[in-house]
Amino acid sequence: MNKNTGVTVTLKASFTLDGKIATASGNSKWITGKAARRKAHELRHENDAVLVGINTILADDPELTVRGIEEGRSPVRIVLDSKARIPEQSRVFQNDGVPVIIISGNQAPSRNWPELAELRILTAPTGTPDVLWVLSEIWKLGLKSLLIEGGSLIHASFLKSNCVDQLELFLAPKIIGGQDSLSWCGDLNVGTVNEASQLEISSITELGVDLLISAKLK
């Protein structure tokens, strides 16, 4: 649990052996197999909210709901969208009764939003929403656990803010390669290997052909 906000933050990422989440063209379906994807839905079920950045919405158009789990509970869906670019036809806006929160920056252009009872718009006091501010607003809404699902810039921002309590890393036995293919984590401003984030691994679980590495930051 983040001592400054009270929100427990879990970072989830699925990537290949070379750390890629998509090809250079943006294709990412599917990095992991069915067993790993089912476990990812269980993580959604276990958390009050799930958060992604606008680039994930634009690239994958995810529903961010729980599927394939009996009596599964879908979390509140949160999208960090500094410039309010999310398309109105995005799947998170489907009228399915699952709440959606869009968090934009204070420089975002005004726009018309879908008329959904479960939609809430939050505007940060800065152009790019600060991680601690986001977590404090989530806490105010009664959301005590948050699952971070990406993309790479979002992962990096939460790691750099030292706000991640748990990492659930799904590793697929595949190699994509290429400098232009997408990595699971953005720039952490690491200058030397000694400055790299170090993890304390609590468990490694086989999920079909994939591995789930559960860890915490040291």
Residues 6+ positions from 27 with CB-CB distance below 8 Å: none
Q: Which domain holds residue 46?
A: 8-217
- From the list 29, 34, 31, 38, the residue with the least C-alpha distance to 16 is 31
Question: Is 186 within a domain?
Answer: yes
| Res 3: pLDDT | 65
Residue 195 is classified by DSSP as G
Residue type, position 152, single letter = S
Whether the link from the prior residue into 151 is cis, omega within 30° of 0, is yes
pLDDT recorded at residue 26 = 87
Amino acid at 51: L
What's the first-to-final CA gap in the chain, in angstroms? 15
The length of the chain in residues reads: 218
Residue 23 in domain: yes
Which pLDDT score is estimated for 5? Answer: 76
* Cα–Cα distance, 22 to 31 (Å, whole number): 8
Please name the residues in contact with 9: beta carbons below 8 A apart, sequence gap of 6 or more: 2, 135, 145, 146, 148, 158, 163, 164, 165, 166
Which residue stretches of 141-176 are H helix? 152-160
Q: Rounded distance, CA 103 to CA 119, Å?
A: 11
pLDDT score, position 71: 86
CA distance 213 to 68: 22
Within a domain: 103: yes
In this prediction, residue 29 carries a pLDDT of 85
Q: What is the pLDDT of residue 132?
A: 96
Q: What is the pLDDT of residues 143-176, one digit of tens each?
A: 999 999 989 999 999 999 999 999 999 999 999 9
Residues of the chain with pLDDT under 70: 1-4
88 contact partners, CB below 8 Å, separation of at least 6: 112, 113, 114
Q: How many domains does the chain have?
A: 1
Residue 160 is assigned to a structural domain of this protein: yes
Instruction: Find the CATH number of the domain harbouring 117.
Output: 3.40.430.10
pLDDT, position 93: 95
pLDDT at 36: 97
- How many Cβ atoms from other residues are within 10 Å of residue 203's Cβ? 8
Is 73 among the domain residues?
Answer: yes
Question: CA dist 166 to 44, 74, 177, 202, Å?
Answer: 14, 20, 27, 10
Domain annotation covers residue 3? no
Residue 1 lies in a domain: no
